Amino acid sequence: MKKSLLLEFVALGAIWGSSFLFMRLCGPEFGVVATAGGRVAIAAAALAPVLWFSGQWQALRDNAAALLMLGLLNSAFPFALFSYAVMSISTGLSAILNATAPLFGTIILWVWLKERPARTRIAGLVIGFAGVVALAADHASFKPGGSGWAIVACLLASVSYGFSASYTRRYLTGVHPLATATGSQISATMALIGPSIWLWPEHNPGPLAWLSMLALGLACTALAYLLYFRLIAGLGPSRTITVTFLIPVFAVAYGSGLLGEMLTPWMLLCGAVVVLGTALATGVLTLSRRR
């Protein structure tokens, strides 16, 4: 891997890992829906001029219907669900559960597009979900004040991410990546703008909350998408998706270092099992025998 691509790869993991921190910082003041809505609106405003000057605006218009659905699946739903989740569980736990997205993606690819995974990948699915069950069983409680629904929200967000990957492959193959990124953010903004205005906080959020919102929109969404698609062009999709394994590392570091969140050995163990299973399920790691 070229040094420049390696730096961009690590930077993307660090940026996406920080999204959980910024959601935690601005969520209590903006609220769940407005946090997600503000994030996509800022990203759309930042990406639209880039798309316009790139000459790819027609690609967005030609695929508007498919991009409308992608914006819901890949941004509006999961951003709102994670904004809700980090209000009651740690950023590190949220990021570890987010790492299950490729697991769900593999299953959806199998069921919907009939792409049956190899035995190694099936083993990865079993291992990965075993790690999720062990992690959730240790933290989930559906009693008042419990974290059960937050964990469910994280897993639903990961399902949405997994479904969006197959949806993109089915309906948006060949569309310019910048058009896909910008169109999906515009679509997500259209979906969330009404509820965000309706649920906008009565008090004016503080400077830290506003700075966190700007970081979510500009860095964790607009810039991250640009880096992501540059990496796909330079490394290919199968290698780029391994950035999923870096995100929990950075998220845990930010949460424990800046927010004082507790990191237990059990969380580390279960997180390692989830990452191992994901690596096997996505084909990044194989168990082939040497002859």
As a whole number of angstroms, the distance between CA 213 and CA 23 comes to 8
pTM summary value:
0.87
pLDDT at 146: 65
Q: Mean pLDDT, to the nearest integer, of 101-129? A: 82
pLDDT for the residue numbered 75: 94
Q: What is the pLDDT of residue 118?
A: 80
pLDDT in tens, 202-248: 999 999 999 999 999 999 999 998 888 778 767 766 567 778 778 88
Region of 140 please: left (phi>0), alpha (psi -120 to 50) or beta: beta
pLDDT at 29: 95
Whole-number Å distance between alpha carbons of 178 and 6: 21
The pLDDT, as a whole number, for residue 282 is 67
CA 32, CA 36: separation in Å to the nearest integer? 7
State how far the Cα of 11 lies from the Cα of 230, in Å rounded to an integer.
Answer: 12
